[in-house]
Amino acid sequence: MNKSAIRKHRGVLFSVMFLAAVPLVLAQAEEEVIGWPRQIDHPEAKVIIYQPQVDSFKGDILEARAAVSITPKGKNEPVFGAAWFKARVETDRDKRLVQVLGIEVPRVRFPEATPEQEKKLIAFLEKEIPKWDMSISLDRVIAGLDLAEREQLAEDNFKNDPPEIMVVNDPAILIFIDGDPKLEQVEDSKMQYVVNTPFLIVLHKKKYYLNGGRLWMEAKDVMGPWKEAKKVPKDVKKLTPPEEEDVETFGEEDGRIPRIIVSKEPAELIVIDGAPDYKPIEGNDLLYIDNTESDVLMNIKTQQHFVLLSGRWYAGASLMEGPWEYVSSDELPEAFAKIASESENGHLLVHVAGTDEANEAVLDAQVPQTSAIKRDSEGPKVEYDGEPQFETVKGTSSKVENAVNTPSSVFKVDGQYYCCDEAVWYIAGSAQGPWSVCDDVPDEIYTIPPDNPHYNVKYVYVYESTPEVVYVGYYPGYMGSYIYGPTIVYGTGWWYRPWYGRWYYPRPYTWGFHVRWNPWTGWGFGVSFGRGPFRLTIGFGGYRGWWGPGRYRPYPYRGGVRRAYRAGYRHGYYRGVQAGRRAGARPSPYTAQNRSNIYNRQSNATRNAQRAQPANKTRPATAQGQRNNVYTDRNGNVHRQTDNGQWQSRQNGQWSSSQSGSRDRAQPQTQARPSTGSSQSQLNQQSLARQRGSTRTQNYQSSRSRSTGTRRRR
């Protein structure tokens, strides 16, 4: 086990609400949301456990504490205390759940109990709590993370130089070709296709054809100019994949045929539909351009324009000409943080340092997706273009090399070969394999810098292992979502040299695909002009490598973009779903698949170990008539929040207020202050986090219910 690497990269401390309220959702089971606090009725006592706060989350191990009340059989008054938990968990971002696999109770404390009573309570909880069937709402977890202790997972040498930013006033779509066009023969034909682009571009009898669904474009030169093809050869048409699988419609169709702009370098295209239509952002000195699919703002005071690209801000003196310069998210004008979260531009707050939305996106990027992999799983099939070729990884020790003539992530360290495939590490004595599941990844691999195309493998870890299984996990960085400074970005910003020999192998890209963030589905991909009849077709499997790990196909190339594409991003976190439904559309980007759990893919299912769940587990019910307003500090002292927002501490079997005028009138008029380590500001933060977690969970469940048509009991 690679302990030092794990300590460095997965030792993220969390202060979270643990054991949260959503049970594991089975494929066709009806969902049921269980609230807090939870209640267990036992022949010996009634136990109420309040929503806990976690002390640490290391890999797949969560440690937490929670306020607990126990009313022994035959008694009316509860005894309050605290219990500490340690649990192994399995994370699933698809369902936004963290399943608790097993719980230990290393410690409990009941200050108001006698030593004899405390021993009995400890024995009772240690015996009963591991029998409870628990799972965690990922959104409750994220809302409660301790920002002061978070770990920065990204490096300082990301590349933030702006790509070529093109701004046009007519319908246009950017087609990216990775350098000079390279042609390959279409098998069993005289046609050729452009291999170094993810789009379907075919050369037939000295004319290029670009597929746009039912619309085809043609040009004598691949760089253009392109025009609508009135007649397309049958052999060319046969090369398009099945429409239901690979052809995606962008937005509402208005009949206009977009101009095709081809770029051979990293670039971004911003399309404004006519003259810029500036509209004010209420409450500050910002304007936004309404008639564009891109995010473009103007600061009224300075007349500067700001554009958001792949999570990064760029400012320019001129909208059409720039020049554009990178602006860190913590150096934006103050007006950016004043954007209302539910406004037309609320989605931008994710990329404004210090906002709740930005903090929660950062915290989301620090929650790993986990699984248990069978040791006897079949290894990957690694293909090379000829004999394996290795190069030293710059920025690491000289003994770390990576293979360059393969789309796979293969490394050589001290004579051993390591391959990261589908978020699992494998080891072999030869570059050709055979590969077996690896339980100890060399520390040197975790020093790979961002300018290496395989930087993303640093976010895949081995946590523990047994003779039968290896516990693994990966962070969103493996899929290209990184924490950079105080906010999240997509991609490292570096252009990586592709491999081109007998075969062409692309590398991950940051620019050119209109990448934007959605809180439920992660990064979405689109086009600059989204309302014409043009559709994009992925050609010849060219997606592999462009956006991350092999076989990773991001939105929209997996799930499609429908009428709500624009609304889903331009109307804050939740209004996109509603807008899409009002338009009679299919689900908006909230149903996109680019966050899909790699471990749960059908092609990977045979690797996963079946988790044996203990029989006869007890599922706690919501404690009726009990507010979820009780907390415990790190010392085990118990506090609760009153209806007017004031705090009371539990002492000598009674609640007493810490401020005059806020005493519980049913209790004696004694005063007590929150104990050390539990100041009112800290307790207020805990309370606000609990509220946000509840709201996030409800909003996600509501959006899921609306998009799937399911109904839930509450």
Task: Decide the pairing of beta strands 460-465 and 322-327.
Answer: unpaired
577-584 average pLDDT score: 31
Neighbours of 282 (CB within 10 A): 12
- Name which of 30-34, 116-120, 314-318 the model is least confident about: 30-34
CB within 8 A of 523, min separation 6: which ones?
Answer: 479, 480, 481, 490, 515, 516, 517, 554, 555, 594
- Indicate the DSSP class of residue 250: -
Distance between CA atoms of residues 661 and 646, nearest Å: 10
240-261 average pLDDT score: 63
Distance between CA atoms of residues 529 and 170, nearest Å: 9
551-576 average pLDDT score: 36
Given a cut of 90, is residue 142 above it in pLDDT?
no
Distance between CA atoms of residues 279 and 143, nearest Å: 32
Q: What pLDDT sits at residue 54?
A: 72
- Indicate the DSSP class of residue 272: B
**HSE of 348, CA atoms in CB hemisphere, 13 A:** 24
Q: What pLDDT sits at residue 621?
A: 75
Neighbours of 242 (CB within 10 A): 7
Per-residue model confidence as pLDDT tens digits over 349-359: 999 999 988 98
Single-letter residue type at 238: K
Cβ–Cβ < 8 Å for 72, 120 = no
What percent of the chain is predicted at pLDDT more than 70? 74
Q: What pLDDT sits at residue 246?
A: 40
Closest to 373 in 3D by CA, of 464, 297, 291, 290: 464
The answer to whether the bond into 323 is cis (omega within 30° of 0) is yes
Distance between CA atoms of residues 213 and 235, nearest Å: 15
Single-letter residue type at 75: K
* Mean pLDDT across the chain: 77
Distance between CA atoms of residues 181 and 202, nearest Å: 11
Per-residue model confidence as pLDDT tens digits over 39-53: 888 888 888 888 877
Phi, psi of 216 (to 5 degrees): -115, 145
Q: How confident is the model at residue 312 (pLDDT cuts 50, 70, 90)?
A: very high
Q: What pLDDT sits at residue 143?
A: 63
272 vs 171, 175, 380, 516, CA distance in Å? 8, 17, 46, 17
Given a cut of 60, is residue 136 above it in pLDDT?
yes
Is 236 in a helix, a strand, or coil? helix
Phi, psi of 156 (to 5 degrees): -85, -15
510-538 average pLDDT score: 76
Length of the chain: 714
Higher pLDDT, 112 or 445: 445
634-662 average pLDDT score: 78
Helix axis angle, 356-364 to 680-708, nearest 10°: 70
Q: Would the CA dihedral through 521, 527, 528, 533 be positive or negative?
A: negative
135-149 average pLDDT score: 61
Closest to 292 in 3D by CA, of 151, 169, 412: 169
Q: What pLDDT sits at residue 238?
A: 87
492-499 average pLDDT score: 92
Per-residue model confidence as pLDDT tens digits over 324-344: 999 999 999 999 999 998 888
Q: What pLDDT sits at residue 661?
A: 32
Q: What pLDDT sits at residue 687?
A: 81
Please give the angle made by the CA atoms of 334, 481 and 598, to the nearest 5 degrees.
Answer: 150
Q: What pLDDT sits at residue 576?
A: 34
Cβ–Cβ < 8 Å for 617, 549 = no
Is 26 in a helix, a strand, or coil? coil
Given a cut of 50, is residue 565 above it in pLDDT?
no
Given a cut of 70, is residue 606 above it in pLDDT?
yes
Q: Residue written as tokens 């839930």?
A: 712
594 vs 484, 520, 553, 676, CA distance in Å? 20, 10, 7, 44
Cβ–Cβ < 8 Å for 544, 551 = yes
Closest to 165 in 3D by CA, of 48, 240, 71, 269: 269
Cβ–Cβ < 8 Å for 203, 210 = no
- Name which of 94-103, 276-285, 511-520 the model is least confident about: 94-103
Given a cut of 90, is residue 618 above it in pLDDT?
no
Cβ–Cβ < 8 Å for 647, 683 = yes
Task: Decide the pairing of beta strands 172-176 and 259-263.
Answer: parallel
Higher pLDDT, 142 or 245: 142
CATH 3.15.10 in the chain is located at 17-144+678-714
Is 433 in a helix, a strand, or coil? coil
What is the DSSP code string of 103-133?
Answer: EEEEEEE-TTS-HHHHHHHHHHHHHHGGGB-
Distance between CA atoms of residues 589 and 272, nearest Å: 22
Q: What pLDDT sits at residue 570?
A: 39
Given a cut of 80, is residue 461 above it in pLDDT?
yes
Q: What pLDDT sits at residue 376?
A: 95
Cβ–Cβ < 8 Å for 313, 327 = yes
Closest to 131 in 3D by CA, of 707, 529, 575, 620: 620
What is the DSSP code string of 486-507?
Answer: TEEEES-SPPPPPEESSSEE--
- Name which of 95-99, 149-153, 501-505 the model is least confident about: 149-153
The helix or strand, by DSSP H or E, that contains position 700, with its residue range, turns out to be helix 680-708
Q: What pLDDT sits at residue 454?
A: 94
Name the most confidently modeled range: 123-132, 254-263, 343-352, 675-684. 343-352
Neighbours of 603 (CB within 10 A): 9
Residues 287-318, buried b or exposed e (16+ Cβ, 10 A)? bbbeebbbbbbbbeeeebbbbbbbbbbbbbee
Single-letter residue type at 667: Q
Given a cut of 80, is residue 256 above it in pLDDT?
yes
What percent of the chain is predicted at pLDDT more than 90? 36
177-191 average pLDDT score: 91
Q: What pLDDT sits at residue 81?
A: 86
Cβ–Cβ < 8 Å for 321, 164 = no
Name the most confidently modeled range: 143-152, 212-221, 292-301. 292-301
Q: Residue written as tokens 């690979």?
A: 246
Per-residue model confidence as pLDDT tens digits over 366-406: 778 888 899 999 999 999 999 999 999 998 877 899 999 99
Residues 212-223, buried b or exposed e (16+ Cβ, 10 A)? bbeebbbbeebb
Instruction: Assign a CATH topology to domain 17-144+678-714.
Output: Bactericidal permeability-increasing protein; domain 1 (3.15.10)
Distance between CA atoms of residues 329 and 313, nearest Å: 7
Cβ–Cβ < 8 Å for 21, 36 = yes
Q: What pLDDT sits at residue 617?
A: 67
Q: How confident is the model at residue 425 (pLDDT cuts 50, 70, 90)?
A: very high
97-121 average pLDDT score: 78
Q: What pLDDT sits at residue 595?
A: 52
Closest to 261 in 3D by CA, of 152, 366, 172: 172
Cβ–Cβ < 8 Å for 487, 336 = no
512-526 average pLDDT score: 80
